Amino acid sequence: MPRSTAKWGQVACMSMIVFAAVASPAIAQVPDNLQVSQLVAWCIVPFDAAERGPEQRAAMLADLGITRLAYDWREKHVPTWDAELDALQARKIELTAFWCSSSLEPAKDPGTQRILQFLRRRNVSTQLWIMLPDEQLAQTKSEPERIRLAALAIRQLAEQAQPLGCQVGLYNHGGWVGKPRVLVGIMEQLDDLDNVGVVYNFHHGHHDLDAFPEALRELKPYLLCLNLNGTTVGGPKILPLGAGEQDAELLQWIRQVEYRGPVGILDHRNELDARQSLQENLAGLQRLIERSQATERSRAP
């Protein structure tokens, strides 16, 4: 069963919303998941040069028209978890996901359990974006055994998260466990669960781009979120959307496989105010969309 067609697929529906292209009076259609109000802001907490607090961050997102946040954090942010949730709820911003770095035994991992306790106490249903320890998995020489161990860890957390109405998204962060074929292999061992999936980040996938778009087609049934980034092979890890050589191709791949689930945009630049970084990505995405629309119009009979 495709994970993205369950609860979270309701948000990123298949309907198309009519837009007027800025560069032309002609009417074009843009998928709902690329509209500003449906984009998920990611990596905007510890990477914000302005070091906003919860209320300032929620106000910034609301001002930009962004209504969804995937929450990344560091230890210093733990005391503000309640304030963060309160600020988001006051602005009607969805807590789409909560970042989680875990051992291979999430049920015994203090950090993971602290997050679950918070979500349980606040009665929050969201996604847990979990990073597994790649170095620890690499110590097991047999790849099938590595896949089994990773799947077991995801299963353990998913079973704990299910009563909370939460999903568990395996987050690619480079390394072996982040390779598309490995992510798919892990998911195939979890077919009996309906609250697991994959969160794929293109900023951690530079070394796997030669496997696309077929890799995206194989990942699609499991995708909970697809995080975009300016991408140039051999270039910087983080670039604004529209500044990368592969960016137009990334959007083309998404269209080819008809992915209509949640899409994220990043800050992830310590030197920039998160507002500026998000604005650059929003502007770059709009330019890419307009360029795609112009190409379509030029090909029309």
Phi, psi of 32 (to 5 degrees): -60, -35
Rounded average pLDDT over 207-222: 95
* Whole-angstrom distance, CA of residue 127 vs CA of residue 157: 11
**Could you say which DSSP state residue 232 is in?**
-
Q: Is 296 helix (H, G, I), strand (E, B) or coil?
A: helix
Contact 51, 279 (CB under 8 A): no
Checking if the pLDDT of 263 tops 90, the result is yes
Is residue 158 domain-resident? yes
Domain that holds residue 11: 3-294
d(CA 187, CA 197): 7
**DSSP tag of 234:** T
Name the amino acid, one letter, at 195. N
Does residue 51 belong to any structural domain of this protein?
A: yes
Which residue has better confidence, 169 or 26?
A: 169
Q: Is residue 151 part of a domain?
A: yes
- Please report whether residue 136 resides in a domain: yes
Can you tell me whether residue 30 is helix, strand or coil? strand
**Domain contains 71:** yes
Residue 79: inside a domain: yes
CATH number at 107 reads: 3.20.20.150
Domain presence at residue 300 = no
Q: What is the pLDDT of residue 114?
A: 98
Least confident of 177-181, 213-217, 234-238, 268-272: 234-238
Torsion 131-177-44-94 (CA) sign: negative
Residue with tokens 């495709």: 2
pLDDT of residue 174: 87
Residue 298 confidence class, pLDDT cut points 50, 70, 90: confident
pTM score, whole prediction = 0.87
Residue 251 covered by a domain: yes
Q: Considering its fold, how many domains does the chain have in total?
A: 1
Q: Which tens digits make up the pLDDT trace of 29-85?
A: 778 999 999 999 999 999 999 999 999 999 999 999 999 999 999 999 999 999 999
